[in-house]
Amino acid sequence: MLKYFSQFNIIKYSKGETILRGGDTPQGVYFIKSGFVKLGSIYREGKELTLALYKTGDFFPVVWTFFGGDRGSIYPAPF
């Protein structure tokens, strides 16, 4: 998979930076060359819920990648 994704531009994100917000339409598939990405949601009172963790070699958003459309609010951010 690394060989396939190596033909595309590399985008670097800082720890804690938000990649997608709930309601955003992804512009493509993100492949994690190194590091981790947390998929979560934040409640109004500030409590955070972690839904998934992606690691080096994973790609996201998985549901959008295979099915398209809006399947709920997601907030992946590197950590």
CATH code of the domain covering residue 36: 2.60.120.10
1, 8 contact by CB (below 8 A): no
pTM beyond cutoff 0.75: no
Quick one: pLDDT at residue 78?
A: 59
Q: Give the domain range for residue 7.
A: 2-78
Q: pLDDT tens for residues 33-49?
A: 999 999 998 888 999 99
Number of domains in the chain: 1
Closest CA to 31 of 51, 7, 2: 2
Q: pLDDT tens for residues 49-67?
A: 999 999 999 988 877 777 7
Residues 9-30 have a mean pLDDT of: 88
Mean pLDDT taken over the chain: 83
Residue that has been written with the tokens 């981790």 in this structure: 36
